Amino acid sequence: MKIAILDSEAIGPIEELKRFDKFGEVKTYSTTNEKELFDRAKNKDVLILNKVRMDSSVLKKLPDLKLICVCATGTDNVDLEYCNEKGIEVKNVKGYSTDSVSQLTVSMVLALSLRLNEQNQSGKSKWQDSPVFSVLNNTFEDISDKSWGIVGLGSIGKKVARIATTMGCDVKYFSTTGRHSDPEFTRVELDALLGCNIISIHCPLNETTKDLINASNVSKLKDDCILINVARGGVVNERAIVDYFNKSNIKLGFDVASKEPIQGHNPLLEIRDSERLILTPHIAWASRQARQRLLEGVEENIRAFIE
């Protein structure tokens, strides 16, 4: 088979990618832009990619293409309808990053609620001059009596929900499809969930979830809530959330942006110096163990396709 890895830099080390050599002739590219895509994808049986967009305008020029392996859980960068119509299989890898994303979600919540960065700075710059054994000017609260709203109760959302429960939080969830029900946790509608003390987002980006939190409902957030987005940037309207941030006391933990890498004009960068914002560069999925599981999953998808 002829295989192309289109954006290896977003997948893993080159040495790890050599596992795919057993399946055929492999061409590896660190990144691939729109202009380069056709030349690199033509005559290929299998494409391995992470965030490269595969629209019908390109897919229709690739009659040899049989399999697209997406190195992610989400497949919103692939025209699934066209692939289904033309018999092109699209395989993702589910569950590989559940632990990795969950731990960053909880870490962000704890860091923001404990004012951890400010405590760290106090320890380094003020503690030695304190007249008593503690520096208590960065007041914080327990989260054990807080409500924690989960948007999207898939494998990641459920893991976060269970961790939140062990920490004493009252967990509620909103089903973005309207079909999901889980007796382990309390299901509520979106407006009710927006009133929680802590909200974390774990749903895919689609027509239903785009701008789920927007200018029309952002005011329903508590003035001092913590909002975590480790799903997709487009689920939260960035302009709306930053405008609300500027007139409230909410705290934000974002690992994603509506366009990635983040653009210089992104509203989130207007508040880059605030202690109430943690902004990480889409790394929630990428623990060493998670990336290993991801590549193993892609390898298994190709093997299953061949057999």
**Beta carbons within 10 angstroms of residue 17's beta carbon:** 17
Judge whether 282 counts as a catalytic residue. yes
- Structure token digits, residue 127: 């503690």
Q: Which residues contact 124 (CB under 8 A, 6 or more apart)?
A: none
Catalytic residue among 202, 232, 291, 293: 232
Chain-centroid distance of CA 136 in Å reads 34
Output the CA angle 255-98-54, nearest 5 degrees: 65
Residue from 89, 118, 260, 296 carrying the catalytic annotation? 260
Could you say which of 115, 202, 282, 293 is catalytic? 282
The CB-side HSE value for 195 (13 A sphere, CA atoms) comes to 4
- Is 180 labeled as catalytic in the residue annotation? no
Of the candidates 98, 204, 72, the residue with the CA atom closest to the CA atom of residue 155: 98
CA distance 225 to 22: 50
Catalytic residue IDs: 232, 260, 282
